[in-house]
């Protein structure tokens, strides 16, 4: 074992699980370079963060320039980069999202979005959707149901959080329409038996479930939620922490849907790796959140905001390329489901693609061993891939937007070979 890994293990809380033992020396574009001259293609993107590739020159230059000016305000004095970041956000976020607050992490942005929604509506109930991941702080973990491990041992968690089903048609062996009907029925039963809709402040939902298994919400489901929200004065709160900033080959997953959010939470790719997150809503809603009833020391850090401005100035030009990559990837990866019994389903939006691995096409039993074997195979050949889903059996395919088609094909070829190798020798 290398000296750094043993020092790491000796000091860093093991609860924070690292996916690989790669020791980075530097990282640039899609590549992470090690001290011993090896390089790995990072198709994890630091869990869907470095969408522009590592150390994008425009982002690095913007951060450097701001570091030379000052690095911190702590909400004491005002500065240009936070205003510019909000101006860029106003231009790209869905219609009706007009004002913003900044925080440091996705969990914080979600918590702020929920706090604002509760305070402003004067209602305490929140409906969340099974399989969602909204973060790991005590508030956000109370909204997270992607995996029971996130909540186990941490109770009591926040109250007045009601969990409704999210359509998982593949897992349930249903058509999309059947799954949507089932979810809407369950929601109507919740409003009958557990809580009146007039007590619900918001529907908190990921338009594309991430950690939970890369399930894009069917459009009809979001439309029906939006209609229920309108009818009962409930706010539609989209968690686009993972699905935002080009991940779905549009600025936001919301851009794929007719149903638009009243409140949005953003993070991850917003500053391409610097810690920053944001939440947004109408001016009317944000302005009625009483001044000083929420706050932050580091949120909206001047350097992170400068990086975010560079991200937003750069990313638009890459979206057409991302759309081409997405169409190509979905077509090629889709073929894996017909070529290999291990591949049960390939689904996703843009470059947020899940490849679900199963033991049997009929029972759809999850096959985490297949994922572990494929991950090892790819890692041995310089490609980093990570999983998602509660059973660790789904390849989370999240290439950087700057990946070339040749690089994408190389990665898909490797995944194809890895599945082939696993099927030839499953114990591998
Ligand atoms: C959809 C979504 N929301 C919230 C979070 C929490 O973000 P963070 O880990 O930055 O707190 C994540 C992180 O994976 C996420 O995917």
Structural domains in the chain plus CATH codes: 1-42 (no CATH), 57-316 (3.40.640.10)
Shortest-distance atom of ligand 1 to CA 136: 11
With bands split at pLDDT 50, 70 and 90, how would you rate the model's confidence at 226?
very high
Neighbours of 16 (CB within 10 A): 6
pLDDT (average), residues 191-216: 98
Ligand 1 proximity of 373 Cβ (cutoff 6 Å): no
- What are the tokens at 269? 């790719």
For residue 134, report the distance from its CA to the centre of ligand 1, in Å.
5
Ligand 1 proximity of 396 Cβ (cutoff 6 Å): no
Instruction: Say what the pLDDT of residue 428 is.
Output: 60
For residue 26, report the distance from its CA to the centre of ligand 1, in Å.
25
Report residue 2 CA to chain centroid gap.
32
For residue 68, report the distance from its CA to the centre of ligand 1, in Å.
30
pLDDT mean across residues, the chain: 97
With bands split at pLDDT 50, 70 and 90, how would you rate the model's confidence at 54?
very high
- Smallest Cα–Cα separation from 139: which of 120, 117, 122, 121? 117
The percentage of the chain sitting over the pLDDT mark of 70, rounded to a whole number, equals: 99
For residue 275, report the distance from its CA to the centre of ligand 1, in Å.
12
For residue 107, report the distance from its CA to the centre of ligand 1, in Å.
6
Cα–Cα distance list, 38 to 33, 41, 54 (Å): 6, 10, 16
For 270-295, letters b (16+ CB in 10 Å) and e give bbbbbbbbbbbbbeebbeebeeeebe
- What are the tokens at 178? 């059947």
pLDDT in tens, 319-376: 999 999 999 999 999 999 999 999 999 999 999 999 999 999 999 999 999 999 999 9
Neighbours of 79 (CB within 10 A): 17
Instruction: Say what the pLDDT of residue 223 is.
Output: 98
- What are the tokens at 331? 């077509």
Sheet holding 24-28, edge to edge: 24-28, 31-34, 39-42, 383-384
For residue 108, report the distance from its CA to the centre of ligand 1, in Å.
9
For residue 148, report the distance from its CA to the centre of ligand 1, in Å.
16
**Ligand 1 pocket test, candidate residues 49, 110, 135, most atoms within 8 A of CB:** 135
- What are the tokens at 410? 């190389």
Shortest-distance atom of ligand 1 to CA 107: 11
For residue 245, report the distance from its CA to the centre of ligand 1, in Å.
14
Shortest-distance atom of ligand 1 to CA 209: 1
Task: Please tell me the pTM assigned to this model.
Answer: 0.98
Instruction: Say what the pLDDT of residue 274 is.
Output: 98
Using an 8 Å Cβ cutoff, are 138 and 151 in contact? no
pLDDT in tens, 157-188: 999 999 999 999 999 999 999 999 999 999 99
With bands split at pLDDT 50, 70 and 90, how would you rate the model's confidence at 427?
low
Distance between CA atoms of 260 and 90, rounded to whole angstroms? 14
With bands split at pLDDT 50, 70 and 90, how would you rate the model's confidence at 276?
very high
- Smallest Cα–Cα separation from 186: which of 157, 160, 162, 151? 162
Ligand 1 proximity of 135 Cβ (cutoff 6 Å): yes
- Smallest Cα–Cα separation from 264: which of 83, 123, 110, 128? 110
Instruction: Say what the pLDDT of residue 425 is.
Output: 84
- Residue with the smallest CA separation from ligand 1 atom 16 is 242
For residue 110, report the distance from its CA to the centre of ligand 1, in Å.
8
* pLDDT at position 426 over 90: no
Backbone angles phi, psi at 60, to 5 degrees: -65, -45
**Ligand 1 pocket test, candidate residues 108, 129, 133, most atoms within 8 A of CB:** 133
Ligand 1 proximity of 229 Cβ (cutoff 6 Å): no
Shortest-distance atom of ligand 1 to CA 106: 7
> Helix, strand, or coil here: 217?
coil
pLDDT in tens, 280-303: 999 999 999 999 999 999 999 999
Ligand 1 proximity of 133 Cβ (cutoff 6 Å): yes
Instruction: Say what the pLDDT of residue 308 is.
Output: 99
């Amino acid at each position: 074992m290398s000296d750094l890994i043993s020092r790491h293990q000796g000091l860093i809380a093991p609860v924070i699980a690292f996916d690989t033992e790669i020791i980075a020396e530097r990282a640039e574009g899609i590549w992470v370079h090690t001290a011993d001259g090896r390089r790995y293609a990072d198709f994890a993107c630091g869990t869907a963060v470095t969408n522009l590739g590592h150390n994008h020159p425009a982002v690095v230059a913007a951060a450097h320039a701001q570091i030379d000016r000052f690095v911190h305000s702590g909400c004491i004095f005002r500065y240009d980069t936070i205003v510019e970041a909000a101006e860029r956000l106003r231009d790209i976020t869905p219609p009706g999202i007009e004002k913003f607050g900044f925080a440091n992490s996705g969990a914080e942005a979600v918590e702020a979005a929920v706090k604002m929604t509760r305070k402003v509506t004067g209602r305490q109930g929140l409906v969340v959707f099974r399989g969602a991941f909204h973060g790991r702080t005590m508030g956000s973990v109370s909204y997270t149901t992607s995996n029971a491990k996130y909540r186990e041992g941490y109770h009591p968690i926040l109250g007045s959080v009601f969990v409704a089903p999210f359509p998982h048609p593949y897992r349930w062996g249903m058509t999309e329409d059947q799954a949507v009907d089932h979810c809407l029925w369950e929601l109507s039963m919740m409003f009958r038996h557990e809580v009146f809709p007039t007590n619900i402040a918001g529907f908190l939902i990921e338009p594309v479930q991430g950690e939970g298994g890369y399930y894009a919400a069917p459009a009809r489901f979001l439309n029906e939620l939006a209609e229920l929200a309108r009818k009962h004065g409930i706010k539609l709160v989209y968690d686009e922490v993972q699905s935002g900033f080009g991940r779905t080959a549009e600025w936001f997953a919301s851009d794929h849907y007719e149903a638009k959010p009243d409140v949005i939470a953003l993070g991850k790719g917003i500053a391409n790796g610097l810690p920053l997150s944001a939440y947004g809503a109408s001016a009317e809603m944000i302005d009625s959140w009483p001044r000083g009833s929420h706050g932050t020391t580091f949120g909206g850090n001047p350097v992170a905001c400068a990086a975010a401005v560079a991200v937003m100035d750069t990313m638009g030009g890459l979206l057409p390329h991302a759309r081409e990559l997405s169409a190509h990837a979905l077509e090629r990866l889709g073929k894996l489901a017909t070529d290999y019994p291990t591949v049960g389903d390939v689904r996703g939006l843009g470059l947020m693609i899940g490849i679900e691995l199963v033991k049997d096409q009929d029972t759809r039993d999850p096959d985490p061993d297949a994922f572990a074997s494929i991950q090892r195979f790819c890692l041995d050949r310089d490609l980093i891939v990570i999983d998602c889903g509660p059973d660790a059996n789904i390849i989370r395919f999240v290439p950087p937007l700057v990946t070339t088609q040749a690089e994408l094909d190389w990665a898909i070829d490797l995944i194809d070979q890895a599945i082939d190798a696993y099927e030839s020798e499953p114990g591998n």
